[in-house]
Each structure stands twice: as structure tokens, then as C-alpha cells.
Amino acid sequence: MQSVADPILVVDGVSYSYLDKFPALVDVSLTVRRGEKVALLGANGCGKSTLLKVLDGLVFPDAGSYHAFGTAVTEQHLEDQQFSEGFRSRVGFVFQNSDAQVFSSNVRDEIAFGPLNMAMPLDQVKRRVDDTLEMLDIADIADRAPYQLSGGQKKRVAIASVLVMNPEVLIFDEPTAALDPRTQHWLMELIVELNRAGKTIVLATHDLATLETLADRCAVFSEDHRIIADGTPEDILADRRLLLSVNLIHDDDPMHEHPHMLIP
């Protein structure tokens, strides 16, 4: 079994406000260990996507620190090309909105973009792109324009453009949102498979039904942008009072999937 002892992403006491006036994270600490599947859970607007952006070095804390693989991830460090390329090849982010992620004129170029940017030899890029197209079952749309594809197809292309870099850590923002049931099932299986193959997974969700499959551990945000609980999906799902307090369930929620959560 793979060791989960090694902390690879460490967020310590991080606060962040947009434009210095819209709080998104308040004194948030989170440690992600190698090989884990961690879910960030919380109501709309609590700060999940912002924390994922911190983890991907897209947003920099106003206070507190973020270290990845033992090195501080700061704006200044990311200006260093070598550090930036190393970090970006080890951590991949699948955005919630695929439109923000696909921009090339055809799917093949889209997927080749990252490897070409890393100055990978052309024959190796071609092999990697072909393997990734195959893996995501999108070889048939390789020559199409990404912006003309359906939402689910765009999602596959966005995931392909991240996986082609073979990152150690995969970050997914609301992976199953807006997908049909079959595609949702496919993506959940893919995430579990990738984790089995050794990838560390961090994702944001408010979908309680997928939690036990997608996470070994979940960190729960309160609506005032703090992490107020951290535990196994079983423990978190059993804590109805907690879920009510953070607005993840409401009073008359039937909770069919988890009848043990009903307080008599």
C-alpha cells in the first residue's frame, strides 16, 4: 500500500480577501499528504475554489503561508521559470468551467499545448497526446474545435490537457457538476483510478452523494470562510448538526442516501 505519511501541500493560517474587501479565506490550514483524496466541502461562496486557486499558485495569501513539496509557493518564486515549470508540471488544475480552460483551435493542439511549452521533443509530445486522447476516449474529436464541443466533451478535453502533463497532484473544482449521469460516473471512476495509480487528488464539491467515493478525507468550510471540521466522509456525513450549520443540508432534507443521519 502507498504511504500517505508524506505531507506535500501545506496551507498554514491562510487568509485571503478579493480586492482587499471580499473575504474568501479566514485563517485556513490544510495539509494534503501524498496519495490522499481530499474533498473541500462547503456551501456556495464559502471559499472552496479560492483555496484550490491557492493550492495551484493562482492566488497568493494575504496572511499565512503555502508550501508545496517543501518549498514556499509565492508570487516571487513563481516568477522563477525553473520553479514555475517544476511546480506547474507537478500540480494540475481542472477548472469548474471548461470554457476558461480550452482555447486552442483544435482538440489535439489544446492537449499538446502544455507539453510543447515544456519544450518536450515532438515525437514524445505526439505519443503523449495520442495516449491521452485514447485514455479519455476523445480520439474521435481530436480535430474538432474545442469551443464547438458539448460541455461534457469540453470537460474531457480540459482533463486531457491537464493529464497529458502527468502531474502528481490533480485538483478538480466541482468535477461532477453539470455532467450527465453517465459522464459523472465515468469521471468519478477516472478520479478513483488516477488515485489508485498514485495521484494525489484535491477537489471541491457540495455533492454529498459522491463524497464516499471521491474522498478519504474532507475539510468542511463554514460560511464565514473557515475550515471548521476535517474528517472521514463517514464521520462528516454522520454529523447532521455540522452539515446543517454549514448549510450543506436543510431541515426537511429527506437524506435518503444516508438514513443513519436522521436524528430521531
Ligand X SMILES: Nc1ncnc2c1ncn2[C@@H]1O[C@H](COP(=O)(O)OP(=O)(O)OP(=O)(O)O)[C@@H](O)[C@H]1O
What is the Cα 251 distance to its own chain's centre? 29
Question: What sign has the CA pseudo-torsion 147, 149, 155, 160?
Answer: negative
- Considering only 48, 88, 155, 217, the residue that binds ligand X (CB under 6 A) is 48
State the nearest-atom distance from the C-beta of 62 to ligand X, in Å: 13
Which residue number, 125 or 170, has a Cβ lying nearer to ligand X?
A: 170
Q: Does 49 bind Mg ion (CB under 5 A)?
A: yes
| Choices 40-48, 145-153, 191-199, 253-261 (CB under 6 A): range interacting with ligand X | 40-48
R_g (Cα) of the chain, nearest Å = 19
Contact 30, 64 (CB under 8 A): no
Number of residues that bind Mg ion (CB under 5 A): 1
What is the Cα 150 distance to its own chain's centre? 21
Which residue number, 112 or 215, has a Cβ lying nearer to ligand X?
A: 215
Establish how many alpha carbons lie within 13 A of residue 5's alpha carbon, considering only the half-sphere containing its beta carbon: 2
Contact 185, 209 (CB under 8 A): no
- One symbol per residue from 196 to 225: x for binding ligand X (CB under 6 A), - otherwise; what is it? --------x-x-------------------
State the nearest-atom distance from the C-beta of 19 to ligand X, in Å: 6
The cell for 9 is 501541500
Which residue number, 129 or 208, has a Cβ lying nearer to Mg ion?
A: 208
What residues line the site for ligand X (CB under 6 A)? 18-19, 22, 24, 42, 44-50, 204, 206
